[in-house]
Amino acid sequence: MTKRFPPAPPLGEPMLAVRPSAEARTLLALRRSANKQFMGPPGPSPEDLDELLQIAARVPDHRKLAPWRFVVFEGEARARFGEGLAAIRAGRGDPEPEVETAAKLLLRAPVVVCVISSPVNDGRTPIWEQELSAGAVCYNLLLAANASGWAGNWLSEWPAFDADAGKLLGLEEGERVAGFIYLGTATMAPPERPRADMAEKITRWEG
């Protein structure tokens, strides 16, 4: 296994609070998701992925609750989950093309990681904050993957919001899908897309 990331320091080790890096700035400035229709093999190996997930989990997290978890789909499991999704759609009498699309959903990339928001009810940490931490995990996974040479795309699509698909995933009470992170190799260079007009997004508070 190729270790691409430095190991986590020992607990309590003094850490640098800043880490200026031209490469990190380039990654952030030029980051782009892969097109979901143009992804293919290869993808990260199970060992690579374990390391990516460890890095992805290194996010801000109020009260250190780690309010998220991962369900990994690799190899055969992608097709088997697809069969379950297809059965859900077929059971509702949905048109055949939609049933077929459901069956192939996870086959669009060699590895798919479902990031699940799994908030802890400690009576004092807002669920919203915990869900934001799960979103940060999704984005951190994309960045870690990109920095390691893998293309990624953060998708939700209908299984993220469907109760039966949630059962198939094994969602517990209060859990929600933060995203399905598709990982692999881009087969087409994604063109730059429109970006927000920052002048409309930024105000300076003047009281």
Ligand X SMILES: Cc1cc2nc3c(=O)[nH]c(=O)nc-3n(C[C@H](O)[C@H](O)[C@H](O)COP(=O)(O)O)c2cc1C
Shortest distance, CB of residue 34 to ligand X, whole angstroms? 8
127 vs 155, beta carbon nearer ligand X: 155
Shortest distance, CB of residue 47 to ligand X, whole angstroms? 26
Between CA 98 and CA 81 the distance in angstroms is 15
Task: Determine which residue in the list 82, 119, 179, 184 makes contact with ligand X, applying CB under 6 A.
Answer: 179
- 32 is a contact residue toward ligand X (CB under 6 A): yes
Tell me the site size for ligand X, rule CB under 6 A.
10
87 vs 160, beta carbon nearer ligand X: 160
Q: Where are the alpha helices (DSSP H) in 34-157?
A: 46-56, 76-91, 96-104, 127-147
CA atoms in the 13 A half-sphere facing the CB of 98: 12
- Residues 151-170 touching ligand X, rule: CB under 6 A, are 153-157
Shortest distance, CB of residue 140 to ligand X, whole angstroms? 13
Closest residue to ligand X: CB criterion:
33
Shortest distance, CB of residue 137 to ligand X, whole angstroms? 12
16 vs 198, beta carbon nearer ligand X: 198
Contact of 136 with 60, CB cutoff 8 Å: yes
- 26 is a contact residue toward ligand X (CB under 6 A): no
Asked if omega into 6 is within 30° of 0 (cis), the reply is: no
- Residues 114-153 touching ligand X, rule: CB under 6 A, are 153
Between CA 185 and CA 164 the distance in angstroms is 30
- Which distant-in-sequence residues (6+ apart) come within 8 Å of 138 by Cβ? 56, 115, 154, 178, 179, 181
DSSP state string for 3-26? --SPPPPPTT----S----HHHHH
11 vs 189, beta carbon nearer ligand X: 189
Binding footprint of ligand X on the chain (CB under 6 A): 32-33, 36, 153-157, 179, 193
